[in-house]
């Protein structure tokens, strides 16, 4: 067996559900905007074969394969082929890396509900249920998830973490892409800033080779909802920064299926024979 790849590399993926690309900017989302300046922030078009729903889009992001591979076309994941196309957290976990899965409120990502979990294995799995079925409940779950994940990131610094926040998508569904949606995005951006600060506050941060990705799954119609192939729905986005991602360089993510490979490459391809 060959020696392991350098171990001082870490990755954090922050998944934000349903954040429209045209919502991003220095005023509404200053943390995400500034983060993009350190690497890139670019639109990512959902491919033609993928329904513009959370289930299939997150499955593509997590597995690096499209609908033809993972087999997920709705928000019920039943019948998936994730055993053949495991998510990046599972791949890293099976290779012996410490991993964190922290999910706010949407069960099938983390729990055996609706055909889930999408993320099969993690060293530490945290799911924060919403206390009430409305925007306030989702918002509180996002905050609690952020608090918990920030604490773990700052203290333990898992080699790979996936943190999921869902309130912006719920705001879109409930109220459309208006003032409440924008306000929820501001809160979401503050949570992203908190997570970034937690990582950067680590005493050994400079030696830990952090690759960080912030990504959404789909947009929303003006009146709210997923729609179909409308540009405001199909235009997702991704931002990334870290070793080898140079500010001002062309985006290295142009498809949702490129995120898992990027994350695993940043970790030295855990689980592959050349590790």
Scan residues 143-182 and list those touching Zn ion (CB under 5 A).
Answer: 169
CB closer to Zn ion out of 18 and 268: 18
Residue 161 Cβ vs Zn ion, minimum distance, rounded to whole Å: 20
CB closer to Zn ion out of 11 and 46: 46
Applying CB under 5 A, the span of 10-18, 20-28, 38-46, 98-106 interacting with Zn ion comes to: 10-18
Residue of this chain nearest to Zn ion (CB atom): 54
Number of CB atoms found within 10 A of residue 45's CB: 16
> Long-range contacts of range 129-137, CB-CB < 8 Å, 24 or more positions apart?
129/105, 130/104, 130/105, 134/174, 135/167, 135/170, 135/171, 135/174, 135/175, 135/180, 135/184, 137/105
| C-alpha span between 167 and 187 (Å, rounded) | 9
Given candidates 17, 87, 139, 189, which one binds Zn ion under the rule CB under 5 A? 17
Residue 25 Cβ vs Zn ion, minimum distance, rounded to whole Å: 21
Given candidates 217, 236, 245, 263, which one binds Zn ion under the rule CB under 5 A? 217
Given candidates 54, 65, 145, 234, which one binds Zn ion under the rule CB under 5 A? 54
Measured CA distances, 192 to 81, 88, 152 (Å): 31, 21, 15
Number of CB atoms found within 10 A of residue 209's CB: 18
What are the residues binding Zn ion (CB under 5 A)? 17-18, 54, 169, 217
């Amino acid at each position: 067996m060959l020696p392991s790849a350098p171990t001082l590399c870490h990755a954090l993926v922050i998944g934000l559900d349903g954040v429209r690309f045209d919502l991003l900017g220095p005023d509404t989302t200053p943390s995400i905007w500034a983060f993009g300046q350190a690497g890139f922030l670019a639109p990512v078009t959902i491919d033609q074969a993928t329904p513009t729903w959370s289930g299939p889009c997150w499955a593509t992001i997590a597995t690096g394969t499209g609908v033809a591979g993972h087999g997920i076309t709705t928000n019920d994941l039943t019948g998936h082929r994730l055993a053949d196309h495991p998510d990046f957290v599972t791949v890293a976990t099976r290779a012996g890396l410490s991993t964190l899965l922290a999910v706010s409120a949407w069960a099938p990502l983390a729990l055996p509900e609706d055909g889930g979990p999408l993320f099969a294995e993690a060293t530490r799995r945290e799911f924060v249920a919403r206390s009430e079925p409305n925007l306030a409940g989702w918002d509180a779950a996002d905050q609690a998830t952020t608090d918990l994940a920030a604490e773990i990131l700052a203290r333990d610094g898992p080699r790979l973490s996936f943190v999921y926040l869902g309130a912006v998508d719920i705001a879109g569904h409930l109220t459309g892409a208006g003032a409440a949606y924008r306000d929820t995005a501001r809160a979401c951006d503050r949570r992203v800033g908190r997570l970034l600060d937690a990582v950067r506050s680590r005493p050994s941060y400079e030696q830990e080779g952090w690759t960080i990705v912030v990504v959404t799954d789909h947009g929303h119609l003006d009146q709210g909802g997923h729609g179909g192939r409308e540009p405001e729905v199909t235009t997702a986005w991704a931002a990334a920064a870290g070793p080898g991602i140079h500010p001002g360089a062309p985006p290295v993510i142009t498809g949702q299926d490129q995120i898992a490979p990027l994350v695993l490459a940043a970790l030295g391809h855990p689980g592959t024979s050349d590790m």
